[in-house]
A and B are shown apart, each in its own frame.
Chain A
Amino acid sequence: MSKLIVTPQTARFESPLTLKSGATLPSYELVYETYGTLNAGKSNAILVCHALSGNHHVAGVHSEHDKRPGWWDNMIGPGKPIDTGRFFVIGLNNLGGCHGSTGPSSINPQTGKPFGASFPVVTVEDWVETQARLADRLGIHQFAAIVGGSLGGMQVLQWSINHPDRLRHALVIAAAPRLTAQNIAFNDVARQAILTDPDFHGGDFYAHGVVPRRGLRIARMLGHITYLSDDAMGEKFGRILRTGAYNFGYEVEFEIESYLRYQGDKFADSFDANTYLLMTKALDYFDPTHHHQHGSLSETMQAARAKFLVISFSTDWRFSPSRSREIVKALLDNNLDVSYAEITAAHGHDAFLMEDPQYHNLVRAYMERIVEEA
């Protein structure tokens, strides 16, 4: 397997963008990576939408010695299920992100200081709009497919409604048509952890030279609990003690504590608190039926024209299979082409990022059909 070496690129947009909130961004930048080659007809492009903490670095490595490949490297690359030998794959960092695209930690050109609290709230619809502008910039009118898991899957769904003619296939993985109250509740606990951290300073912590680490850490720990299944946690960590005995204190004792704290620390060192707030808010607000009087998903999906592959995972309780089946039903009600698979996997919501033979074989088979029909 040859190494896929990629270099991030930046697209600058000078035309103002009016967001769903009513706020306007006079200009913004999107950081993106591409893999593979765009064919002459520009018909083999695939857009990958990232989830809560994802970014543009979807696959490959940044140099020969780079040890850390992109977040979906097991799915995307030469000879992988989404084969960059056949498709031109685009990954981008969403607006409001913290990996190079314009976001709260970027410098506001009008003030010379980071946007911080002044960065507007962005929605899934805003992301789809900016992604469409990036596609225009690259000369891509119609994607062969748009692919995403979790919050990424929500973006795919929104694409199919807002720009029905701009994608032939939609791969909606481990997603939901909108969040449940329980899901919003988890997000709010995460937000409260950040918002009440004394180092948050109302979002303008940059000026104070601090980071709301404690809040970010707790937010991430909570997130991780919801992304894993009880069984997977039990299997991986059980009740194993690090020293084999109770120490009657509050330091790390159980392996699960060690894991969560490690994940929390790692995240707090690398992710922007304001971006985390924005992303969770975009999740909460997402509801494509919002514009419809009856709130009917079937009516909302009337607009769609794409062919769909919907995938869920058996132990995913944050975006459970029943939520994917709601999407499937709305597609069936509109006589749209759809295949749906429920993958038996132990790893909960995180399973969509893992290498499961059935899951990967399905995506591979589906992508091969796309090649054949072209």
Chain B
Amino acid sequence: MTNTTVRHDFETIAAWVAPGSRVLDLGCGDGTLLKYLTDSRQARGYGVEIADANILACVKKGLNVIQNDLDAGLSGFEADSFDFVILSQTLQAMRHIEQVIAEMLRVGKQAIVAFPNFGYWRHRMQVLQGHMPVSPNLPYQWFDTPNIHLCTVKDFEAFCAQRGIRILERVVMEGEREIGFLPNIRGSVAAYRIERG
């Protein structure tokens, strides 16, 4: 993986992470984002991941990775022990979202959440045409998708408001472009920096 192919949402997340931060990346996959944060922001990080192949990929990259089921909570981590707890493109596949977000805000001073926006116009079109959406950000068919808790920009913001979670920053994107106008319709990916209210 070279830096030229770094995903745009990774750059957004990296911009939020202060240099030298202590970072916990939940559902870190093969460690691409964590490695990017380690290399570009000198972050001291740990990944949490459940899949064997991803654990191996992270170890190959020389990253710290902990094999754990996120839905079982973060009891292995002390309160306020990380500057940032990151959940990138994992939220929609979690079973216990409320618990996970609460745990992120317990363990981290701040949390960063990025997810595919179900309210994206292309997704809406496909629903109107009578189909479950399939797109580069939602690349699965309805019967094999790991995504069980899809939400929109509006939904997530309402979720935070109801729980007194403070949204510090939001970036909504379509591909490499940042979307300012009508984000819930025009944005395919949303990223938020949040903290306890």
Contacts and interface: CB of A to CB of B under 8 A. Distances in A.
Q: Do A and B share a complex? A: yes
Contacts of A269: none
B82 to A, nearest CB: 10
A341 B62 CA distance: 14
Interface string A335-374: 1011111101000000000000010011001101100110
Contacts of A369: 59-60, 62
A361 B58 CA distance: 12
Contact of B77 (A332, A339, A340): A332
The residue among A309, A335, A341, A358 with the most chain B CB atoms within 10 A of its own CB is A341
Contacts of A329: 76-77
A323 interface: no
Nearest to B46: A332
B64 A362 contact: no
B55 A362 contact: yes
Interface string A318-341: 000000010011001101011111
Given A328-B66, A369-B62, A361 B76 contact: no
The residue among B22, B46, B64, B76 with the most chain A CB atoms within 10 A of its own CB is B64
Contact of A365 (B60, B66, B68, B76): B60
A366 B64 CA distance: 11
A367 to B, nearest CB: 10
The residue among A338, A358, A365, A366 with the most chain B CB atoms within 10 A of its own CB is A365
Interface in B107-128: none
A335 B43 CA distance: 13
B66 A340 contact: yes
Contacts of B52: 341, 344, 358
A358 B64 contact: no
Interface residues of B, number: 20
Contacts of A335: 22, 44
A361 B67 contact: no
Contacts of A333: 78, 81
B65 A339 contact: yes
B59 A339 contact: yes
Nearest to A370: B62
B77 A366 contact: no
Contact of B66 (A339, A344, A358, A366): A339
Contact of A339 (B44, B58, B76, B78): B58
A172 B148 CA distance: 36
Contacts of B97: none
Interface string B32-69: 00000000000010100000100110111011111110
Contact of B59 (A328, A362, A372): A362
Given A328-B76, A335-B22, A341 B81 contact: no
Contact of A342 (B46, B64, B67): B67
Given A332-B81, A333-B78, A369-B62, A362 B56 contact: yes
B191 to A, nearest CB: 26
B64 A341 contact: no
A253 B93 CA distance: 50
A338 B78 contact: no
A361 B56 contact: yes
Nearest to B69: A342
B76 A366 contact: no
Contacts of A358: 52, 56
Contacts of A362: 55-56, 59
A373 B66 CA distance: 21
Contact of A332 (B56, B58, B63, B76): B76
| A-B interface, 10 closest residue pairs, ranked by CB to CB distance from nearest | A365-B59, A365-B60, A340-B66, A329-B76, A341-B67, A369-B62, A342-B67, A358-B52, A339-B65, A341-B55
